[in-house]
Structure 1
C-alpha cells in the first residue's frame, strides 16, 4: 500500500491527486452502482471507481435517470462504496448539488465525511436528466459558478479534502463556445477537473483538452449516447486525463439477467451462467465480497463460528 513518510497510508483523495498530477498516469474508472459490482471491479484490479448516478437511481429506486434520486439516496450509496476499499479513490456523481449554495455545501461536506475522493457538479436545473437525453435545461452561468464556489468553501470549512469536478451540459443547446466559457469560469472559481458532457466528435474533444490545458479533462464514455465510444487509448491520445464508464456494469448485467430469467421461465432451468459446465456456487460468489478475509479475521479475533471452514 502506498504510504506517506514511510508509515502512514495514503488516503483515497491523496491517491487521486497523485494520479492527476502524474503526467504518465491515465485514470480509468469502471462505473459501479452497488457493493457487488464495486467488489468485482476491485477484484479485477481497478485503481479508481466511479459511482454512476444513473446506476444509483436504477438500482436503489428502480427508476430512470431523470433527477429522481435525492442527496440522501446518492450519499448512502457513495458512503457504502467508499467504505469497501477506503484507500481506493471513488469519484461520485453529485448531480446539481441538490439545491441552493447551502445545499451544495451540505452535499460536498457529506461526501467528504463519507470518504469520497472526487465529485462532479453540473449546470442543469435541479430537476435534471441524463446528459445523453434531449431536452436538458440549464441554470445561468452565475448560478453554476455559485455551486462550484460553494463546493470550494465547504471543502475549506470541512477540514477535509475532495477533488471538485465541474461538468457542463451546455454543449447540446448552447454550443461549444458557451460550454467552454462555463468551464473556464468554473475553473477560475476553484474546480480542478473539467467535464464537458456530450462531446460529439474527436475534433471537439481535442479542442476541449487543448483549450483548457493544463486543467485535466474528464471523458464520459456512454455507448449508444451522443458521444463517440472512445477507448482508453483514444481518450488518452486526445488529451483527456480521466475516463469514466458509468454504464459498464449496467450494460453487461442487463442482457445476462434478462437471458437467465428467460431461460428459467421458458425452459425451467438456467444454462447460460454455467462456468466450464458448472454453476457459480455461493462460496465463490461470496468470496468476491471478502468471505475468506472475514472468516480469517473472526478466527484471529478468537471467534469460533468459522473454525470448521478453515
Structure 2
C-alpha cells in the first residue's frame, strides 16, 4: 500500500506514469479498480487505501472547481491544473483523466495531449460527443460523424508523437454512440479508433454481460475499460467477474463525490440546527486529518534537512 503520511526516499528505477498504467492493464484475468478523485483530499485517501490507479472525472472536476453540472463548462486549464495536483501527490499511482471532447479542433486536441503529459497524466479518454457535451448518463447526447471522430484520435496520436523525448500516455477512446445509434455502431467506432491509434476502449453506459464479453472479443487485443455510476445504466458487476471477462480497468467516477455531498449536507444541517460539530463523533482530530494529507512526510523532510520547525513535534 502506498503511504500518504510517511516520507520514503524512492530508490526504485523511474517508471513513467504511462508505463505503470500499461503494466497494470496488461495483467491476465485482472481488472484494476480506479476510484474517482476530484481534489487533493480524495486523492490522498485513495492513496492511503492502496488503490493502484485513480481516476479524474470531468463531471466531478467541473462540480468541484466550478460548482456546475457536467455540461462542458470546464476548460483545458481546469482539467489540467486539477490533474497536475492529483498526479503528482504520488507518481507511483497512475492517474487516468477525462479529456471531454478534446477542447477544440485537432490542433487543440494535440495540445491537450501535450499539456496532460506535462501534468503527469498516465492516460486520458476522449469522447465522440459534439463539443457541447454532457455527462454520458444523461439524456439528449449527440455524437459527431465518423470522420470527425477519426480526426480526434489521429490528433491525439500526433500530439503524443510530437512530445519531445517521447511519451507513452495512454489514449482511451470513449464511445457514446451506443446510446444514440446502436451497440454495433459503437463497436464500429471503436474499431476505427483502434486503427487510428487508440490504445484502449471505453464503451459508456454498456448494459449487459453479453455486450461486455462481445466487446472484449471484438476489440481484442485492445483492452476495455468500464464505467460504474450508481443508479446509472451499467449494472454493478464485481471486479473479479470483470477480470474474468477480460475487462482491464473499472472506474467509479462519483464514488467519493456523492458520499461527500451527503456528508457535507448532514454536517452543515447539524451545525445550523444544533451548533455542534457533526464530525466530532467520527474521532478524527486535526492531527489525524493532516497525517492523511502527508504531514509526517513533511516533518521527516524537515528533520533530514536539519530544520528545527518541528523539533517539538507537530
TM over 0.5: yes
**Cα RMSD (Å) of the superposition?**
1.6
2: CA distance between counterparts of 1:259 and 1:308? 37
Whole-Å Cα distance in 1 between the matches of residues 111 and 77 of structure 2? 11
2:285 maps to 281
Within 5 Å, give how 1:109-258 maps onto structure 2.
109-158=114-163, 159-258=166-265
Query: Are 2:308 and 1:308 equivalent residues in the alignment?
Result: no
Counterparts of 1:268 and 1:94 in 2: how far apart (Å)? Answer: 42
**2:74 maps to 1:100:** no
**Structure 1 portions without partners, runs of 5+:** none
The runs of 5 or more residues in structure 2 that have no matched partner are: 2-10
Contact 2:36 2:256 in 1 (8 A): yes
C-alpha spacing 1:7/1:83, structure 2 compared with 1 (3 Å): closer
Shift >6 Å, 4+ stretches: none
| TM-score with structure 2 setting the length | 0.93
User: Does 1:36 find its partner at 2:41?
Assistant: yes
SS in 2 for 1:21: coil
Aligned to 2:297: 293
Assess if the C-alpha contact under 8 Å between 1:32 and 1:246 holds in 2.
Answer: yes
Q: What is the TM-score of this pair, normalised by structure 1?
A: 0.94
| Alpha-carbon distance between aligned partners in 1 of 2:51 and 2:74, rounded to the nearest angstrom | 26
In the TM superposition, what whole-angstrom CA distance separates every residue of 1:257-305 from its partner, at most 9, and x where no partner exists? 1111111111221346513xxx311110011110011011012112121
For 1:299 and 1:154, locate their aligned partners in 2 and report how far apart those are by CA, in whole Å: 43
Confirm or deny: 8 A CA contact 1:91 1:119 kept in the other structure: yes
| Alignment partners' CA distance in 2, 1:74 and 1:160 | 19
**Would you say how many aligned residue pairs link Structure 1 and Structure 2?**
303
| Relative contact order higher in (CA < 8 Å, ≥ 6 apart) | 2
